[in-house]
Amino acid sequence: MIKNRLTIVLLCIKLALLGSFLAVVFAGHYIAGQTRDRLYSEIGAVPRREVAVLLGTSRFLSSGEPNPYFEHRVEAAAELYHNERVTRILASGDRRHASYNEPAAMRDALLARQVPDSAIMMDYGGLSTLDSVARIKHVYGLDDVVIVSQRFHNERALYIAAEYEVSAIGYNAQGVSRIWGIRTELREYLARVKALLDLHVFHTAPLLEPGEE
């Protein structure tokens, strides 16, 4: 009897692991397939829009070194501005406390790249990708925007944008080497599963309180 129960438990564990693996694979391929025609990697091919939405991340790694994801995203947003693809940049990110402020860090980095302060808006309510994207229209009244992040992140952001009826395209910032970024890419697979669950199963409500200063 005990042996039979153990067999059933092990079988259930195997099925659960298989189901989780299939969910991750499905989410990854499905989101990528739904968004690939709205992604741009060459600045000359990007259609002109009024606003670029720069998605936040930490400026520094836990080691204290500059975060290349942050640097490449800011560089891409500045490139859009200086090539007259956009006229304003909305820096959307997390401000957990006084010492952690993604929008302010993005503004400082943009200013260092000769983007004028008058062209920069800051959104402190972007606690997650879901929040940042939903707020584009429902807080700031924007629609035709360019979302700026790495390709893997842009794919998820554009999928969310479509669900919130935001007419967005994505400009892909430079990525990092696969070896260096493997952890981030693995987290992204799980984030895609969560995005589908948030949008289609749990109907997770985004933060839509005003967050601009």
Q: Residue 87: inside a domain, yes or no?
A: yes
Q: Residue 131: inside a domain, yes or no?
A: yes
pTM confidence score: 0.89
| pLDDT per position as a tens digit, 108-165 | 999 999 999 999 999 999 999 999 999 999 999 999 999 999 999 999 999 999 999 9
Q: Residue 35: inside a domain, yes or no?
A: yes
Contact 61, 155 (CB under 8 A): no
Q: Residue 77: inside a domain, yes or no?
A: yes
| pLDDT per position as a tens digit, 5-21 | 666 666 667 666 655 66
Number of domains in the chain: 1
Q: Residue 62: inside a domain, yes or no?
A: yes
Tell me the residue range of the domain where 189 lies: 2-200
CATH number (domain holding residue 71):
3.40.50.620
Q: Residue 208: inside a domain, yes or no?
A: no
Q: Residue 21: inside a domain, yes or no?
A: yes
Q: Which has the closest alpha carbon to 200: 53, 31, 32?
A: 31
Contact 39, 172 (CB under 8 A): yes
